[in-house]
């Protein structure tokens, strides 16, 4: 039985779901000859560590208790009541991780949303450990950091950074390793903006659709976090860098769905929803009509060609994969020189958000590293 | 630099394309720290083997010569003129392979269409080697053979057995290793039948569409090889077995598009095309009308639920991925318990045939085995 030590950073929705899935997959993974031994967990303020990380790990009852504590909104140190463990602040943990990496070959899993994890991930990778990321931030920092993360590309996996568990990264890597050249990747990589753009197409005003999406919990608490296109741009940058396109976030042309004067610095959320948003309706309506007269539909799309990334509203043919998109699905169309032509791209579509599917992507990534463990 | 020895069985269109891609990817793979060292090749009658398989392999000029010889329709032994190598009959080669496997850790690649390769694949896997299959036959023999092939599941890859290079197997494996349960997989896995069914929908007679498909080279020389559904059934069986569904070919309900009395044993190809085929037009036309009145379209689909496989003509909703299919694309819809619901399946679509994409799938599989080589 292969014993793979796992250390988890971030135990919000995705991290908690991951721990639960690890527990519920015990028999399945044992049949595959694998035991995932969780030895440490941290959140944004504190950590817990198993007393003997080299030989043992947390038992499943402890992990269940930990999930319950986090789901109750309590701090991690409350775990001390559930079993023996070491605890401390999350900043101490970062130092501790490199100490552990010198003695233990483990998988560091980043399910946080922090930009502070990059340094420690690079350090443990350098010491021979592996990393699995659901967190986009480490991959969208400087190119220098990106290069360090991919110095040993087999040790790092990050499927859930783009389209949650959808096999977009794995498929892109397969295309690249077969020597085919990707000419362009087109994607609708925001479930929120996908939903909004397919609903406005049916004649509803943009402002109403955004408000409904917010009520349904499809948007961030401040919908401008979605409407700015920044999240889509991060995903696009990851896909581009994977293909060897050397760009920084600042190089991306991002079309925000609201003007600067309605930004969070200039307008309160309440004011934006009540007064700002409705002022955008006419422009969107006009663009939809124009698209329709061209037999197209309007989509919020990222396009990564051979050199550039653009993230913006764009007309797409009604009968293309992007044009047919409904609801909150994500979709990518990949065009290559050899296998996937203009008329027959590779299309991958499905739900691109949610704790379940994001955690599933992380877990599949961890299992995919198994050959690097003895 | 990792040096991965490769031995290839079958050098028809796909095998030849694979050799060409290996050669053209030299720089790319070197940047990944990999050198694919081809040490042996066989076709249905003979083999060539590098003089020193442990330390050296064929140089790229020899491989280019080999591709030229095969493309000219000549036997492999003509390679003797292009460089130093050992040669002999393909049956001798099978014995030789197990001898080599005792001393060399290599990847055995099966790009043949033979049902005679299973035994040697099992033997070399048992000796610690790896295998990559584009050939469906070994995976659709008895369950006993299948179990032996997957005794060490990490050592075998077979993406190109279903949907050519489309990432259907890789994605299915990711879903399974994350502990999600696949409730059903639906697929249109024959480019030929996909083309035929989307064309008849536009009002053309079935017999005319089949004849056009034959003229365009979309069908096998005898179109009944496609219309029988056997090829789709093989792919469905592979997908089912991957999910742990223990069925044999004989357990699959296969709906053939022609009756037994028009089979190759009962009717010549010429007779079938001229007299048999047109007799099928009315029935198909009627079924299409019925589907249309239900707001559906008619597709040739395989459905793998939790226990059974069916391969037949079926009505599918017009706005589903299968319903929207046009031309010769393949598509699968995967529904699971946790991540991919009734309304949001995982959809993978693209060209599911052709030497380029099949060879690309094989090459990505070989690269995916790199962590098993030191």
- pLDDT tens by residue, chain A, 374 residues: 999 999 999 999 999 999 999 999 999 999 999 999 999 999 999 999 998 999 989 999 999 999 999 999 988 888 877 778 888 998 899 999 999 999 999 999 999 999 999 999 999 999 999 999 999 999 999 999 999 999 999 999 999 999 998 999 999 999 999 999 999 999 999 999 999 999 998 889 999 999 999 998 888 889 999 999 999 999 999 999 999 999 999 999 999 999 999 999 999 999 999 999 999 999 999 999 999 999 999 999 999 999 999 999 999 999 899 999 988 999 999 999 999 999 999 999 999 999 999 999 999 999 999 999 99
Q: Residue A357: its chain B contacts at CB < 8 A?
A: 338-340
Per-residue confidence at B121, pLDDT binned at 50, 70, 90? very high
Distance CA(B54)–CA(B58), nearest Å, equals: 12
**B194 touching A (Cβ < 8 Å):** no
Domain ranges of chain A: 2-165+356-372, 177-351
Residues B352, B125: Cα–Cα separation, whole Å = 28
CB spacing of A371 vs B368 below 8 angstroms:
no
Residue B327 pLDDT greater than 80, yes or no: yes
Q: Name the CATH superfamily, with its identifier, for domain B2-165+356-372.
A: NAD(P)-binding Rossmann-like Domain (3.40.50.720)
Out of B166, B344, B367, the one facing A351 most closely (by C-beta) is B344
B345 interfaces chain A, CB cutoff of 8 Å:
yes
pLDDT in the model for residue B217: 85
pLDDT of residue A217: 85
Phi, psi of B51 (to 5 degrees): -60, -35
The beta strands (E) that lie in A106-176 are given as 107-110, 130-133, 156-157
Residue A228, pLDDT score? 97
A54: Cβ contacts below 8 Å, ≥ 6 apart: A103, A104
Q: Is B221 on the interface with A (CB under 8 A)?
A: no
Are B364 and A175 an interchain contact pair (Cβ–Cβ within 8 Å)? yes
Distance from CA of A13 to the nearest CA of B (A): 15
DSSP code of residue A134: -
Closest chain A residue to the Cα of B348, Cα to Cα? A348
Tokens of B19: 């050799």
pLDDT tens by residue, B200-214: 988 899 999 999 999
pLDDT surpassing 80 at residue B80: no
| pLDDT for B62 | 94
Q: Looking at the complex, does the CB of residue B371 fall below 8 Å from at least one CB of chain A?
A: yes
**Partner residue opposite B344 with nearest CB, options A174, A177, A350:** A350
* B177 interaction partners in chain A (CB closer than 8 Å): 28, 32, 363-364, 367-368
SS3 B128: coil
Per-residue confidence band for B75, with pLDDT thresholds at 50, 70 and 90: confident
Q: Rounded to whole angstroms, how far apart are CA atoms A146 and A39? A: 27
pLDDT of residue A216: 87
Pairing mode, strands A34-42 and A2-9? parallel
Q: Do B178 and A21 touch (CB under 8 A)?
A: yes
Q: What is the pLDDT of residue B161?
A: 97
**pLDDT value, residue B259:** 96
What pLDDT shows up at residue A326? 87
Q: Which residues contact B79 (CB under 8 A, 6 or more apart)?
A: B48, B62, B65, B66, B69, B85, B87
Q: Would you say residue B79 has pLDDT above 90?
A: no
The catalytically annotated residue of A64, A204, A235, A250 is A235
Which residues does B280 contact at the CB level (< 8 Å), separation at least 6? B206, B207, B257, B258
Q: Judge contact between A10 and A17, C-beta under 8 A.
A: no
Give the residue with greater pLDDT, B326 vs B245: B245
Nearest to A170 among B170, B357, B360 (CB): B170
> Residues 147-166, chain A: which have Cβ within 8 Å of B?
153-154, 159, 165-166
CB contacts of A35 in chain B (<8 Å) are: none
Quick one: CATH architecture of A177-351?
2-Layer Sandwich (3.30)
Residue A9 to residues A27, A42, A84, A271, A372, Cα–Cα distance (Å): 25, 5, 20, 36, 21
Which parts of chain B are beta strand (E)?
Answer: 2-9, 34-42, 46-49, 86-89, 107-110, 130-133, 156-157, 182-188, 253-254, 296-304, 309-317, 329-336, 346-351
User: Any CB–CB contact under 8 A between B317 and chain A?
Assistant: no
Q: How many CB pairs under 8 A join A and B?
A: 148
Torsion, CA A234, CA A249, CA B364, CA A167, rounded to 10: 0
In angstroms, the CA B296 to CA B278 distance is 24
- As a whole number of angstroms, the distance between CA B137 and CA B148 comes to 14
Q: In whole angstroms, how far apart are CA B293 and each of B201, B224, B288, B296, B297?
A: 13, 29, 9, 7, 9
Q: What is the CA radius of gyration of chain A?
A: 22
Cβ-Cβ contacts under 8 Å, B370 against chain A: 154
ipTM confidence: 0.96
Catalytic residues of B: 235
CB A161 within 8 A of CB A133: yes
Record: contact A178-B340, CB cut-off 8 A: no
- Across the interface, of B29, B153, B165, the residue whose CB is closest to A339 is B165
Q: Classify residue A58 by its DSSP letter.
A: -
CB contact under 8 A, A28 and B179: yes
**pLDDT on residue A84:** 80
Cα angle vertex B358, ends B353, B364, to 5°?
145
Whether A317 contacts chain B with CB within 8 A: no
The CA distance from A177 to the nearest CA of chain B, in Å, is 6
Q: Which of A301, A309, A303, A157 is nearest to A247 (CA)?
A: A309
Q: Which of residues 228-247 of A touch B (CB under 8 A)?
A: none
With a cut of 80, say whether residue B150 has pLDDT above it.
yes
Closest-CA distance of chain A to residue B343, Å: 9
* Separation CA A321–CA A344 (nearest Å): 11
Catalytic: A235? Answer: yes
**Under the phi-then-psi rule, with left for phi > 0, alpha for psi from -120 to 50, and beta for the rest, what region is B134?**
alpha
Dihedral (CA of A323, A324, A330, A332) sign: negative
CA distances from A254 to A8, A264, A308, A331 (A): 32, 17, 12, 19
Give the chain A residue nearest B359 (alpha carbons).
A178
B204/B212 Cα distance (integer angstroms): 11
C-alpha distances in Å from residue B61, one per residue of A353, B64, B66, B135, B303: 49, 5, 9, 27, 46
A positions 11-40 inside 8 Å of B (CB)? 21, 24-25, 28-29, 32
Tokens 């043992």: give the residue: A56
How much is the pLDDT for B205?
96
Mutate to test the interface with B, among A17, A36, A339, A362 (most CBs of B within 10 A): A339
């Amino acid at each position: 039985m292969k014993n793979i030590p796992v250390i988890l950073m971030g135990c919000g929705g995705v991290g908690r779901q991951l721990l639960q899935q690890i527990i519920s997959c015990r028999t399945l993974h044992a049949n595959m000859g694998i035991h995932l031994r969780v030895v440490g967990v941290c959140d944004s303020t504190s950590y817990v560590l198993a007393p003997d990380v080299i030989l043992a790990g947390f038992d499943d009852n402890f992990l269940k208790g930990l999930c319950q504590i986090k789901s109750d909104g309590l701090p991690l140190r409350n775990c001390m009541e559930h079993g023996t463990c070491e605890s401390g602040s999350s900043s101490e943990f970062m130092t501790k991780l490199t100490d552990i990496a010198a003695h233990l070959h483990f998988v560091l899993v980043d399910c946080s949303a922090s930009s502070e994890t990059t340094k420690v991930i690079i350090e443990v990778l350098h010491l021979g450990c592996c990393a699995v990321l659901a967190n986009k931030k480490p991959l969208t920092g400087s190119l220098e950091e990106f290069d360090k993360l991919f110095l040993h590309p087999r040790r790092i996996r990050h499927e859930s950074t783009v389209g949650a568990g959808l096999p977009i990264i794995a498929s892109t890597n397969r295309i690249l390793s077969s020597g085919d050249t990707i000419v362009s990747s087109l994607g609708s990589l925001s479930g929120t903006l996908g939903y909004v753009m397919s609903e406005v197409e049916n004649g509803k005003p943009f402002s109403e659709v955004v408000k409904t999406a917010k009520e349904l919990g499809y948007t961030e608490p401040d919908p401008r976090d979605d409407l700015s296109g920044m999240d889509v741009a991060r995903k696009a940058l990851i896909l581009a860098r994977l293909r060897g396109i050397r760009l920084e976030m600042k190089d991306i042309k991002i079309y925000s769905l609201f003007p600067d004067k309605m930004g969070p610095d200039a307008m309160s959320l309440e004011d934006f929803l009540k007064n700002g948003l409705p002022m955008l309706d006419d422009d969107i309506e006009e663009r939809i009509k124009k698209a329709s007269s061209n037999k197209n539909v309007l989509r919020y799309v990222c396009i990564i060609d051979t050199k550039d990334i653009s993230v913006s509203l764009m007309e797409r043919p009604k009968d293309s994969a992007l044009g047919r998109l409904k609801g909150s699905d994500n979709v990518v169309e990949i065009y290559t020189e050899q296998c996937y032509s203009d008329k027959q791209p590779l299309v991958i579509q499905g739900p691109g958000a949610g704790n379940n599917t994001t955690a599933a992507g992380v877990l599949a990534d961890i299992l995919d590293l198994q050959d690097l463990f003895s």
